[in-house]
Amino acid sequence: MRNSTGTTAVAVGTKRGAVPRASDPLIRKQDGSGEALNYYVINRVVTRWTQRHLGVRLTPHKLRHAYGRQCVDLGVDIRIIAESLGHESLESTKIYTQVSFQRTRRIAELFGSPGEVK
């Protein structure tokens, strides 16, 4: 196959140029098999990286939860948060709003009620 410069282009494979499907894994093994990495490998890599570079042991689950909570704190619509986290029901996403309300309550307690002298 010739491209616009006149040189021959060789197709490397259908996988590389193919449009990814929603069911395709985001992270694949580098051995050429195209298989998805399993949860334990990803968990170990993320946990070690965050411990080494951030000084805190974070798991993919904790990062996901922090993302959801941060979105709520920033005022992102709950339906958008649910979609970005892959929740089929808004009930699953309401957990993040409850955490946010608890956080808000703690902050409010620091400042006291309006008119109250501390």
Quickly list H helices, the chain: 14-17, 39-54, 60-73, 78-85, 90-111
Enumerate the domain spans of the chain: 25-58, 59-118
Q: Does pLDDT of 101 surpass 70?
A: yes
Q: Does pLDDT of 6 surpass 70?
A: no
Give all strands (DSSP E) within 1-118, no chain letters.
none
Helix, strand, coil percentages (3-state) for the chain, rounded to 5, are: 55, 5, 40
- What pLDDT score does 49 carry? 94
Instruction: Count Cβ atoms below 10 Å from residue 72 Cβ, excluding itself.
Output: 22
Q: Give mean pLDDT, residues 4-23.
A: 52
Q: Per-residue pLDDT tens for 30-81?
A: 887 878 888 898 899 999 999 999 999 999 999 998 899 889 888 899 999 9
Q: Which of 16-30, 64-78, 91-105 has the lowest mean pLDDT?
A: 16-30
Q: Which residue has the higher pLDDT, 103 or 55?
A: 55
DSSP output for 49-79:
HHHHHHSS---HHHHHHHHHHHHHHTT--HH
